[in-house]
Amino acid sequence: MRVVLDGSPQELRTVWLEGDTVRMIDQRALPSAVRILELNDVEDVARAIEGMAIRGAPAIGAAAAYGLALAEIRGMDLGRAAARLRRTRPTGHDLFAAIDRVLREVEDGKTAREAAEAYARDDIERCRAIGRHGKRLIKDGMRILTHCNAGALATVDVGTVMAPLTAAKEAGREFFVYASETRPYLQGSRLTAWELGNAGIDHAIVVDAAAGLLLQRGEVDLVLVGADRIAANGDTANKIGTYPKAVLAKTHGVPFYVAAPMTTVDFGARTGRAIPIEERAEDEVLTIAGVPVAPKGSRARNFAFDVTPARYITGFITDLGVLKPADLRARRKKR
């Protein structure tokens, strides 16, 4: 992705390995500043994932892969390093898929560094394929609603939802994007709007609760969201607030698509009931930028994700093409 760092435009990935250090864009600082974190060991990587310096299922997967590369560089047992990384965040599937792939390739003779770099390259190619397959869904004059951030920042580069948007823009299509702000971490207003602006895509930020009104008034033609884990039957875990948007989209006859690589599909989870839902600290809801927004003594429930049943999803924009939930089940049977 193209960012301005130290006053000059540069092409950066979300996360990368440079020498014996993992570097990543600290997403907590955006959009006010582009800050690069330098991580020296597995514990640094684990804390960055837990602390939301990096987020988005594919990006977390790549960070974990690079964490294993750091463990190898530091002479740490890879099994112990993998166990620490698995404990960081429970919902996203790419974290576990990436760790399993790196460990498998190390057993086959690769170094962890080689395996991690291959995983990152493949993630970028998967996102480019999502862009190619998804851009045909975006027509001139469309008004598109997104939720959370599924752009380049949520992957190694390119993005999932952002990939077809960028591809359609490069093809000369004109469209408008509504980015829902996505409380409590505001990934929509802080990150998606930042990426849309950098790409020159016309957009507006709306509060999460405005989605129903926009859909009711016929001001949305397409809903595009990402995913953190997709069950074998198509039930999909994504940022909290996705499920009501899907229900409302179906109520008002608006197509609802999920953009995600096949690495996000967990064929071991038969339905969404098998997907663990992360619950994070209360303070993330009770404060904004450190400022209290609730009375002292109030409690909060801070669910990070919800699960949208497959019946509300029109299709999945994947690196293998645009698939229906039944297509996922068929692919599981072929495994």
Which amino acids are annotated catalytic?
Answer: 228
3-class secondary structure, 271: coil
Ramachandran region of residue 207, left (φ > 0), alpha (ψ -120 to 50) or beta? beta
Distance from C-alpha of 302 to C-alpha of 285, rounded to nearest angstrom: 7
Distance of CA 9 to the CA centre of its chain: 24
Question: 144 and 223 in contact (C-beta within 8 Å)?
Answer: yes
- At 240, which amino acid appears? I
Question: 178 and 214 in contact (C-beta within 8 Å)?
Answer: yes
- Residues in CB range of 318: below 8 A, 6 or more apart: 129, 130, 133, 259, 260, 261, 262
Integer CA distances (angstroms), 62 to 73, 143, 314, in order: 17, 32, 28
